[in-house]
Amino acid sequence: MASGEALTTSGYIVHHLTNLTVGHGFWTLHLDTLIVSGLLGLFAFLGMAKLASKATTGVPGKMQTLVEMLVSFIDQQVKDTYHGKSPLVTPMAITIFVWVLLMNAMDLIPVDFIPWVLSMGGVHFFKAVPTTDPNLTFGMSLTVFVTMIVMGFKVKGFGGFMHEVFTVPFGAKLAPVNLLFRLIEDVAKPISLSLRLFGNMYAGEMVFILIALLGLWQLPLALPWALFHILIITLQAFVFMMLTIVYMSMASESHG
């Protein structure tokens, strides 16, 4: 594509699944993932801040109503799921849902549009959907995991946390078994959290790419899949948020 030659079917798919990178080996950075996720995060932050500055106690506008409904909905989910006391959980849940939803929504942009625009500037590889990159989803899940561990120490104290690690669920006599089970459980959390989001979004992106290969025949399929995909991107943002809340709740609960 860089030289203008026609791509084969496999070449077309590989081209759309190749990241814009810099560096080599372990230190390779996926610039497209960093740029798009950063811009969307900044957009969400500035947009919410501007809306908050113009919020009124009178008759709210459409955007204020939408945001208030979203915040109220997420706050209720936190109240129903998280049984501890922390001012961090609700803002964290709101941030995760809005940010992941925006990143997922990039999948609704036609797969050839952004690469075509950037190719005119000499950029020939660019994945516009950050959540199809496992580096991003795993990075987010690790952040949630670290927050969960920190919250566990904060709520239970070092002694209480370590007591739970070595005595749950089989008691102190089986401390090594309890530790093994705890390690497996904790390692599984960030892996499953990241792969669930990545897998669903990657599969959705692949379907869009395959539909695009149909040329004019894609028209009867693209719109129905895009409409169905709206449900997927919203559901995946909701699932990531809810699992985060559940993990925070588990970190705050005591097992005696």
CA distances from 185 to 23, 90, 163, 168, 194 (A): 34, 24, 16, 12, 15
What pLDDT is attached to residue 1? 44
Examine the pLDDT at 139 and tell me if it is beyond 50.
yes
Q: How high is the mean pLDDT of the chain?
A: 90
Q: What are phi and psi of 47, to 5 degrees?
A: -65, -45
Report the distance separating Cα 127 and Cα 214, nearest Å: 20
With cut-offs at 50, 70 and 90, classify the pLDDT of residue 97. Answer: very high
pLDDT of residue 191 exceeding 80: yes
Catalytic (active-site) positions: 192, 196, 200
Q: What is the pLDDT of residues 37-53, one digit of tens each?
A: 999 999 999 999 998 88
* Res 255: pLDDT: 57
The whole-angstrom separation of Cα 208 and Cα 226 is 8
Instruction: Kindly state the percentage of the chain with pLDDT values over 70.
Output: 96
Residue 15 banded pLDDT, cuts 50, 70, 90: confident
Range 94-118 average pLDDT: 93
- How does residue 85 score in pLDDT terms, banded at 50, 70 and 90? confident
* 84: DSSP letter: S
Query: Which pLDDT band holds residue 159 (cuts at 50, 70, 90)?
Result: very high
The alpha-helical segments, DSSP class H, found in the chain are 9-16, 31-53, 62-81, 89-105, 113-119, 134-167, 175-212, 219-252
Give the model's confidence band at 24: pLDDT under 50 very low, under 70 low, under 90 confident, else very high. confident
**Per-residue confidence (pLDDT) for residue 3, from 0 to 100:** 44
Domain ranges of the chain: 9-252
For position 59, what pLDDT does the model report?
Answer: 82
pLDDT reported for residue 2: 43
What does the DSSP 8-state code read for residue 20? -
Which pair of structure tokens corresponds to residue 56?
């009124």
